[in-house]
């Protein structure tokens, strides 16, 4: 009986030790993300989240307006063909199938560049809220990435010459502030790449649709 109690006690003690050790080891791993960020990083994050929430809020308002128009058309017994065509334009523009005209930023780049730097610039512009991006005449879709082709950077199989231009539809001042901020992408690229960047805000800018066939070969809709 005494031996049994001893065994059970040792088992319980070992279990408690195990639990505490696991907890301690986990606390040595990557810390909880937010609490590991500095005040400056948190401020940057808050700025990004705030801007994105404004976009989402506007997008939701736009969809609700669309729903109201569909409801009106339905009540009046009218076809909502025009509304649907507008929705098609919206989705096609988002996918990169249609061109987009609006305000934005143009970055001219002259010098040595590598595909990673081009991709990093594209990600930075997207994070700053760019709605449509082109590198020279190549529209950047979800599937577009810069890679090293035979002797030149290529995007969607199209060689990108030097100098080249990145055009982005979005808030001109917002995009500019994001890429030119101290310690931002242009600062980092300037330290590692021998290139000259010329940034221009535009009130009128056209980004053409993609020439690439985005019809998937194997992916099938499940809806």
Partner 1 sequence: MTRRRPASSRFVRPQWAISIAGALAAIGFVGAAQWNSSLARQEFITSAQRVLITEAEQLTRQQEAFRSEIELAEERVRGFQLRDEGSRSEMEALSAELASARLAAGLGAVRGPGAIIEIADSQRPVPVGESATNYIVLVDDMRDVVTALWASGAEAITIAGGGADGVPAERLVSTTSIYGVGSSILVNTAFLSPPFRFEAIGPDGLHERFLAHPTYLARLQPRIDAYGLQFASEPRDDLMLPAFIGNTALRWGAPISERN
Should residue 135 be labelled a site residue for partner 1 when binding is judged by CB under 8 A? no
Identify which range of 74-82, 158-166, 186-194 contacts partner 1 by CB under 8 A.
74-82
160 in Cβ contact with 135 (< 8 Å): yes
Compute the distance between CA of residue 93 and CA of residue 87 in angstroms, rounded to an integer: 10
Q: Which listed residue (1, 4, 23, 150) binds partner 1 by CB under 8 A? A: 23
Provide the minimum distance between the beta carbon of 135 and partner 1 in the complex, in angstroms, as a whole number.
Answer: 13
Compute the distance between CA of residue 181 and CA of residue 107 in angstroms, rounded to an integer: 15
Should residue 8 be labelled a site residue for partner 1 when binding is judged by CB under 8 A? no
**Phi, psi (deg, nearest 5) at residue 101:** -120, 135
Provide the minimum distance between the beta carbon of 160 and partner 1 in the complex, in angstroms, as a whole number.
Answer: 14
Q: Which of residues 141-160 bind partner 1 (CB under 8 A)?
A: 141-148
Residues in the chain, overall count: 223
Should residue 193 be labelled a site residue for partner 1 when binding is judged by CB under 8 A? no
DSSP letter string, 137-188: TEE--TT--EEE-SSSEEETTEEE-SSEEEEEES-HHHHHHHHHSTTSHHHH
Should residue 209 be labelled a site residue for partner 1 when binding is judged by CB under 8 A? yes
Nearest residue (CB) to partner 1, 53 versus 110: 53
Provide the minimum distance between the beta carbon of 193 and partner 1 in the complex, in angstroms, as a whole number.
Answer: 15
Size of the site for partner 1 (CB under 8 A): 109
Should residue 43 be labelled a site residue for partner 1 when binding is judged by CB under 8 A? yes
Should residue 92 be labelled a site residue for partner 1 when binding is judged by CB under 8 A? yes
169 in Cβ contact with 202 (< 8 Å): no
**Phi, psi (deg, nearest 5) at residue 171:** -70, 115
Query: Binding pattern to partner 1, positions 50-69, x when CB under 8 A?
Result: x-xx-xxxxxx-xxx-xx--
Q: Which listed residue (107, 130, 160, 166) binds partner 1 by CB under 8 A? A: 130
Question: ∠ CA(205), CA(210), CA(215), 5° rounding?
Answer: 150
């Amino acid at each position: 009986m005494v031996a049994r109690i001893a065994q059970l006690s040792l088992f319980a003690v070992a279990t408690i030790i195990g639990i505490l050790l696991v907890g301690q080891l986990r606390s040595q791993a990557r810390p909880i993300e937010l609490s590991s960020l500095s005040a400056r990083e948190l401020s940057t994050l808050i700025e990004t989240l705030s801007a994105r929430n404004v976009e989402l809020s506007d997008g939701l308002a736009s969809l609700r307006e669309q729903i109201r128009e569909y409801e009106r058309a339905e009540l009046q017994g009218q076809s909502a063909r025009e509304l649907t065509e507008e929705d098609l334009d919206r989705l096609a523009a988002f996918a990169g199938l249609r061109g987009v005209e609006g305000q934005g930023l143009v970055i001219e780049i002259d010098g040595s560049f590598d595909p990673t730097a081009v991709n990093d610039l594209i990600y930075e512009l997207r994070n700053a809220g760019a709605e449509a991006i082109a590198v020279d005449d190549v529209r950047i879709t979800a599937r577009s990435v810069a890679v090293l082709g035979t002797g030149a950077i290529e995007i969607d199989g199209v060689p990108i010459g030097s100098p080249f231009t990145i055009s982005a539809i979005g808030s001109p001042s917002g995009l500019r502030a994001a890429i030119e901020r101290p310690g931002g992408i242009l600062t980092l690229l300037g330290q590692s790449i021998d290139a000259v960047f010329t940034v221009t805000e535009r009130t009128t800018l056209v980004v053409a649709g993609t020439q690439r066939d985005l019809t998937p070969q194997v992916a099938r809709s499940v809806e």
